[in-house]
């Protein structure tokens, strides 16, 4: 049975803690301003809030109504450019293109077929020169690299270490 993140988010603020360090490092080093970011599986927004505080616009998507409630509440309190959307990432299709698609330890929660279908669909919404930033189980990384190689787009791997895979679209 899958873990009940909605129950966790409903009982504990900031349940998953601080933003993921590898993403913090990426955005701290970035010199680009006003990026449009899709945070897939955003939960309560630990990454989304950090990114929006850096001046970027974030769409956060999660299956958990409690997580999205907390994300939207944090965004409103700080007047951050964040829109939280309750949706199932296995079927979610975003509107518009993004400079960054960030997927923080979410894909492994889907069965393999749905995981790869979701990734294949989402990478199509990355603008030329944009990035896909993934943190996930190390065992899934080869499948992810294969999905990028099979896409009609050209991708450069910028980071492939442990459970982190960062790619940039040509």
- The string of pLDDT tens digits covering residues 146-159 is 999 999 999 999 99
pLDDT tens-digit series, residues 119-153: 999 999 999 999 999 999 999 999 999 999 999 99
Closest residue by Cα to residue 57 from 73, 34, 23 = 34
Cα atoms in the 13 Å half-sphere on the side-chain side of 167 = 26
- Asked if residue 76 is part of any domain, the answer here is yes
At 95 the pLDDT is: 96
Evaluate whether residue 47 is within a structural domain. yes
Q: Count of domains in the chain?
A: 1
Is position 64 within any domain?
Answer: yes
Question: Does the residue 54 lie in any domain?
Answer: yes
What residues make up the domain containing 162? 35-103+115-126+145-170
Residue 108 region, left (φ>0) first, then alpha (ψ -120 to 50), else beta?
A: alpha
136 in a structural domain: no
| pLDDT tens, residue by residue, 24-77 | 999 999 999 999 999 999 999 999 999 999 999 999 999 999 999 999 999 999
Q: Which CATH number belongs to the domain containing residue 88 in this structure?
A: 3.40.50.150
Half-sphere exposure (CA, 13 Å, Cβ side) for 141? 17
Query: Is this prediction's pTM over 0.85?
Result: yes
In a domain, 91, yes or no: yes
């Amino acid at each position: 049975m899958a873990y009940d993140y909605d129950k966790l988010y409903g009982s504990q603020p900031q349940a998953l803690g601080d933003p993921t360090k590898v993403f913090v490092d990426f955005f701290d080093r970035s010199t680009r301003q006003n990026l449009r970011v899709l945070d897939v599986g955003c939960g309560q927004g630990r990454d989304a809030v950090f990114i929006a505080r850096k001046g970027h616009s974030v769409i956060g998507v999660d299956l958990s109504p409690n997580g999205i409630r907390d994300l939207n509440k944090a965004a409103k309190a700080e007047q951050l450019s964040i829109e939280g959307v309750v949706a199932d990432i296995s079927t979610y299709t975003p509107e518009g293109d993004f400079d960054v698609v960030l997927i923080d330890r979410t894909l492994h929660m889907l069965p393999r077929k749905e995981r790869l279908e979701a990734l294949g669909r989402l990478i199509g919404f990355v603008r030329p020169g944009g990035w896909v930033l993934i943190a996930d189980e190390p065992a899934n990384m080869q499948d992810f690299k294969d999905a990028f190689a099979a896409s009609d787009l050209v991708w450069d791997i910028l980071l492939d270490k442990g459970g982190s895979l960062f790619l940039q679209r040509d």
